[in-house]
Amino acid sequence: MSRKKSFELAKRVKDLPPYLFATIDKMKQKAINRGIDLIDLSVGDPDLPTPKHIVERMKKAVQKPAHHRYPSYEGMLSFRQAAAGWYKKRFRVSLDPETEVLSLIGSKEGIGHLPLAFLNPGDVVLVPSPGYPVYPVATLFAGAKSHIMPLVEKNDFLPDLKAIPKNILKKARLMFLNYPNNPTAAVAGRKFYEEVIKFAGKNNIIVCHDAAYSEIYYDNRRPMSFLQVPGAGDVGIEVHSLSKTYNMTGWRIGFAAGNAKVIAGLGKIKSNLDSGIFQAVQEAGIEALKTKEPVLRKLRDTYQERRDILYSGLKDLGLGVKKPKATFYLWTKVPQGYDSASFVRHLLNRAGVLITPGNGFGSSGEGYVRFALTVPTKRIRQAIRRIKKVL
């Protein structure tokens, strides 16, 4: 093979920040190669299997020849009806499954494609920081610019909309929001959403609310949907994922719901770039959305037990941490004398515990680390004992 060609990467690729989890994976691999018994609290991927009834439905669905052909990009009507039915039952929100629901190959796909539908070079996207890294990357790929909305503790990790400069507002076309929030575990309420709807309407900004964690909540306090607030459907969409709710991260299925024009715009991009979700997975998704309450309660109880153990453990160690009301993350201040990266390295090398540096979610995450509750209680207790020894 000739080695002369350089195959120079496109500017949009060269401009990418290093993908957080790729860097962590390298550190993790090195530690494992050194023979460390690693406790991995870094990745937001549920450790529990997909519930059995969903797997069983998949087994049957995969045998149907009709499912072996191309699916439609927008999703089977029956899946979209199931999504609309779930919204009605869970949030008392009515959606037209034909025009207000769109299937996604995971919510990441929808978030990644949305900017391509609505942004031109020079446009601005309002992006929370710390936040899910796909928001600024999708913005970059569309040739637009991110304007960072810092999420700080004194503001309950909600963006300060009044702090966004006028010249930015003139160019802003889209805003990403995510509650319950990854990585801060913050939850938003009606008052904030009302403010967002007013702000978006006045400035003609599309809102994309990422609700991936709406079903991972504690103490029976169910987070609300953005779409429950009057006017939300006029300004934007909510993206949902089956990944976290039903332990289905590997299956790649989610959906967008809300404003029909935004849904149609996103659909336009999808119809040109992908061919939808394997229909057998959609059938399994329909089954997932019908999951009975006791199954879901058991999943939540598992996370709640882990949360309680990790929260009191970190608190006893003197670390600054709030008890999360939702998500499977604990957003924790690093102790004096460290920054995010050096604290992560210290715990990895000295304690064999891997967590995520807060600055990997954007510069506003500096000074924090994220613990994920995706390991059994025994390992969480072990992690706390190990951390105690090296603090």
Ligand X SMILES: *Cc1c(COP(=O)(O)O)cnc(C)c1O
Give CA separation, 331 vs 80, 171, 352, in Å.
34, 32, 19
Quote the least distance from Cβ 390 to ligand X, whole Å.
29
Measured from the CB atom, the residue of 31 and 149 that comes closer to ligand X is 149
Q: Answer yes or no whether residue 241 interacts with ligand X by CB under 6 A.
A: yes
Evaluate whether 367 touches 339 at the Cβ level (below 8 Å): yes
Rounded-to-integer distance, Cα 193 and Cα 258, Å:
15
Strand partners, 372: 329
Applying CB under 6 A, the span of 101-109, 147-155, 194-202, 379-387 interacting with ligand X comes to 101-109
Q: Answer yes or no whether residue 266 interacts with ligand X by CB under 6 A.
A: no
DSSP code of 206? E
Evaluate whether 244 touches 46 at the Cβ level (below 8 Å): yes
Measured from the CB atom, the residue of 135 and 218 that comes closer to ligand X is 135
Measured from the CB atom, the residue of 239 and 387 that comes closer to ligand X is 239
Q: Answer yes or no whether residue 249 interacts with ligand X by CB under 6 A.
A: yes
Cβ partners under 8 Å of residue 266, min gap 6: 102, 110, 113, 114, 117, 237, 256
Q: Answer yes or no whether residue 212 interacts with ligand X by CB under 6 A.
A: yes
* Total residues at interface with ligand X (CB under 6 A): 14
Quote the least distance from Cβ 210 to ligand X, whole Å.
5
Q: Answer yes or no whether residue 247 interacts with ligand X by CB under 6 A.
A: no
List the one residue from 87, 132, 246, 331 that touches ligand X (CB under 6 A): 132
For residue 124, how far is the Cα from the chain centroid? 21
Q: Answer yes or no whether residue 178 interacts with ligand X by CB under 6 A.
A: yes
Applying CB under 6 A, the span of 30-38, 48-56, 106-114, 308-316 interacting with ligand X comes to 106-114
List the one residue from 46, 51, 97, 106 that touches ligand X (CB under 6 A): 106
Rounded-to-integer distance, Cα 200 and Cα 175, Å:
8
Measured from the CB atom, the residue of 81 and 249 that comes closer to ligand X is 249
> Smallest Cα–Cα separation from 337: which of 349, 324, 325, 346?
346
Q: Answer yes or no whether residue 108 interacts with ligand X by CB under 6 A.
A: yes
Measured from the CB atom, the residue of 114 and 351 that comes closer to ligand X is 114
Quote the least distance from Cβ 132 to ligand X, whole Å.
4
Strand partners, 240: 255
Give CA separation, 144 vs 135, 198, 200, in Å.
11, 24, 18
Evaluate whether 380 touches 309 at the Cβ level (below 8 Å): yes
List the one residue from 103, 107, 225, 374 that touches ligand X (CB under 6 A): 107
> Smallest Cα–Cα separation from 281: which of 112, 54, 128, 110?
54
Quote the least distance from Cβ 8 to ligand X, whole Å.
30
Rounded-to-integer distance, Cα 334 and Cα 331, Å:
10
Rounded-to-integer distance, Cα 85 and Cα 79, Å:
10
Distance separating the N- and C-terminal Cα atoms of the chain: 52
Evaluate whether 129 touches 149 at the Cβ level (below 8 Å): yes
Applying CB under 6 A, the span of 90-98, 242-250, 344-352, 368-376 interacting with ligand X comes to 242-250
Q: Answer yes or no whether residue 44 interacts with ligand X by CB under 6 A.
A: yes
Give CA separation, 209 vs 320, 335, 374, in Å.
28, 32, 24
Applying CB under 6 A, the span of 63-71, 114-122, 236-244, 264-272 interacting with ligand X comes to 236-244
Quote the least distance from Cβ 262 to ligand X, whole Å.
17
Q: Answer yes or no whether residue 210 interacts with ligand X by CB under 6 A.
A: yes
Q: Answer yes or no whether residue 270 interacts with ligand X by CB under 6 A.
A: no
> Smallest Cα–Cα separation from 129: which of 344, 358, 329, 299?
358
Q: Answer yes or no whether residue 374 interacts with ligand X by CB under 6 A.
A: no
Q: Answer yes or no whether residue 28 interacts with ligand X by CB under 6 A.
A: no
Q: Answer yes or no whether residue 182 interacts with ligand X by CB under 6 A.
A: yes
DSSP code of 271? H
Rounded-to-integer distance, Cα 256 and Cα 245, Å:
15
Applying CB under 6 A, the span of 60-68, 158-166, 243-251, 304-312 interacting with ligand X comes to 243-251
List the one residue from 136, 254, 267, 285 that touches ligand X (CB under 6 A): 254
Interface contacts to ligand X, rule CB under 6 A: 44, 106-108, 132, 178, 182, 210, 212, 241, 243-244, 249, 254
